[in-house]
Structure 1
Amino acid sequence: MSLPEHNARIGESDSSVGELVKRASEQLSELVRGEMRLARAELTEKGKRAGLGGGLLGGAALIAVIALQALVATAIALLALAVSVWAAAAIVTGALFVIAAVLALLGKKQVARAVPPAPEAAIDSVKADVEEIKGRAHR
């Protein structure tokens, strides 16, 4: 094969390789766009379901609060059989304040354990990985 024939074949293969790369790039772009459309549609559907679920959970919480209020009234009425109504109401109110104080203290301890909000174990692990990589790179 002569040099001009060889160069002509290289030109043909370059253009075909270039064309293949161009087509692959276009197909990859279309694939990514399609996947993004699919992800958007899926997230939209999940968002609608999450909104509906959140609304139903909110309604359930409201009904639970009302039920707890009815339970408190029942406790006062039951205790009023043994003592006067005002004393029964004061006793139940005091018990509720004690329960609220205990829950507040427990919640405060949990919040204190959560600060700072950085993922410290993950940060330490990444630092150790970086040090390991540095150590291996210098060998």
Structure 2
Amino acid sequence: MVRSELELAKTEAKAEVAKAGKGAGMLGGAAVAGYFTLLFLSLFVMYLLGEGMDLQWAALIVFVVWAIIAAVLAVLGRSRLKTVDPSLERTQKTLKEDVQWAKNQK
């Protein structure tokens, strides 16, 4: 009976992993498409600005805007990562409680 349950769990896990893989692939494709969208939007803005000034200055302006966005995102992401606590305190607490409960059952 336990073996059949394990086989069922393996089968279900494989199906879920396959679904997750397809979803991750689609997200990867969306990321690439988003990258190209931003690239061509940046080029459009650069050429639009180039109508009123030298194209080199327009490219520099677009570059500076993206550099500022990258810097702000880097600072925010770094500060957010510093708040991550990988110790999993609640899980450790419940596992200790489970061990204590199992000891009391004997």
TM-score (norm 2): 0.81
From 57, 69, 80, the equivalent of 2:50 is: 80
From 61, 85, 89, the equivalent of 1:91 is: 61
The percent identity for this pair of structures is 34
Matched, 1:109 2:79: yes
- Unaligned regions of 5+ residues in structure 1, if any? 1-30, 134-139
TM-score (norm 1): 0.63
From 31, 37, 45, the equivalent of 1:67 is: 37
Q: Partner residue of 2:103?
A: none
The structure 1 segments of at least 4 consecutive aligned residues displaced by more than 6 Å after TM superposition are none
- Unaligned regions of 5+ residues in structure 2, if any? 101-106
From 92, 102, 119, the equivalent of 2:88 is: 119
**SS class of match (2:86):** coil
- Residue type at the aligned position of 2:45: A
CA RMSD of aligned residues (A): 2.2
Matches within 5 A, 1:5-44: 31-44=1-14
Alignment coverage as a number of residue pairs: 97
Distance between the aligned counterparts of 1:108 and 1:47, measured in 2?
A: 30
